[in-house]
Amino acid sequence: MGSAITTSGLGKTFITRTGPVEAVRDLTFEVGKNEVIGLLGPNGAGKTTTMRMLSTLEQPTAGTATIAGHDLRHDPRGVRQSIGLVAQSGGSRPTATVRDELLLQARLHRLSDPMAQAETMMKAFELTELAARPTMTLSGGQRRRLDLAIGLIHAPQVIFLDEPTAALDPPSRNELWGHIRALRARADVTVVLSTHHLDEADALCDRVLILDHGKLIAEDSPARLKQRLGNDVITIDAGLRDDQVATRTLASIADLPHVRDVRRTGNELRIGCENAEGLLTRVVLTLHDAGIDMHGLQVAHPSLDDVFLALTGHTTAQER
């Protein structure tokens, strides 16, 4: 299959008034051609900085990378010609019409028939009826479809999607998911998307790279990452007022058969296990014997949120 992206020791340090800040540290990974890869993590994890480096918008301060066969440091122009980028903020001119914006992009890329390519992209992303509309009048979902069309108009080998569904309502988000899924069926493009919505990565990505504090902490398919936690997750809302009692009780639960992982976040317990139904009675009795009240209980298959919590001790939504 070959590689679309390789990085080795990639890093970015920003110099601030209070001193150097490592936004990305020692990032080494490989992306195969035609893969859909997710960069996951909370705000500040290094996702956007990584994308900006790989798309030549930020100079790395350490390491090397090759994108679509072009060296990031020595051939940035070759990289730019081979990629598309859909940034969080988009990039279309507010007063330009949808058709004019696509025409401009086609001409900037020196395509042989700009009008034909603009029409093709409008049809592919359901923008034909909006062709004469100024982009500032589009809804959030319509604007993101236009951003995708702009990013793909020159048939790049790699496209970067930075938080592609940020601020979209659920129907628009699901609609955009459909367009991203359609990219998976194409044999000529590699997709790298960043998101802090882990259900999004689970639904769309062949493989995910989990970042936290600028470091790569896990890398695998969503299914295999979830398998590491066991088949089930028991979530309990418990009255954990005494930290010493809570610590002893968590240790007792961790020693039960089929328990793989026990995590506490505030008053919430998450227990990764192989057989929730066979374990529930013993967990409930352990809490009861410790004098800990239960206010709610749920059994679910593990999600990428559970994986992230197990790896980092916090969720992607938590402020750090």
pLDDT given for residue 260 in this prediction: 87
Closest CA relative to residue 176, chosen from 210, 157, 149: 149
Q: In terms of DSSP bridges, do strands 268-273 and 259-265 run parallel, antiparallel, or are they unpaired?
A: antiparallel
Residues 108-160 pLDDT 10s: 999 999 999 999 999 999 999 999 999 999 999 999 999 999 999 999 999 99
Q: What is the DSSP string of 107-159?
A: HHTT-S-HHHHHHHHHHHTT-GGGTTSBGGGS-HHHHHHHHHHHHHTT--SEE
Using an 8 Å Cβ cutoff, are 25 and 55 in contact? no
**Structure tokens given for 18:** 């209070």
- Which of 68 and 183 is assigned the larger pLDDT? 68
- Work out the pLDDT band at 229, boundaries 50, 70, 90: confident
Across 5-25, average pLDDT: 96
> What is the spatial distance between Cα 199 and Cα 209, in angstroms, rounded to a whole number?
14
Domains of the chain: 3-222 (3.40.50.300), 231-301 (3.30.70.100)
Residues 95-121 pLDDT 10s: 999 999 999 999 999 999 999 999 999
Q: Tell me the C-alpha to C-alpha distance, in Å, between residue 50 and each of 68, 70, 187, 215, 295.
A: 16, 17, 25, 11, 42
Q: Burial of 281 by CB count in 10 Å (0-12 exposed, 13-18 middle, 19+ buried)?
A: exposed
> What is the spatial distance between Cα 213 and Cα 269, in angstroms, rounded to a whole number?
24
Q: Is the dihedral of CA 302, 306, 311, 316 positive or negative?
A: positive
- Work out the pLDDT band at 316, boundaries 50, 70, 90: confident
Alpha helices in the chain (DSSP H): 47-54, 76-82, 98-108, 114-124, 140-152, 170-184, 198-204, 222-227, 243-254, 276-289, 304-312
Task: Tell me which residue has tokens 């066979």.
Answer: 278
Position 315 pLDDT exceeds 80: no
Least confident segment among 249-258, 281-290, 299-308: 299-308
> What is the spatial distance between Cα 216 and Cα 264, in angstroms, rounded to a whole number?
23
- Work out the pLDDT band at 187, boundaries 50, 70, 90: low
Using an 8 Å Cβ cutoff, are 273 and 259 in contact? yes
- ∠ CA 246-248-254, rounded to 5°: 100
**Structure tokens given for 298:** 């749920």
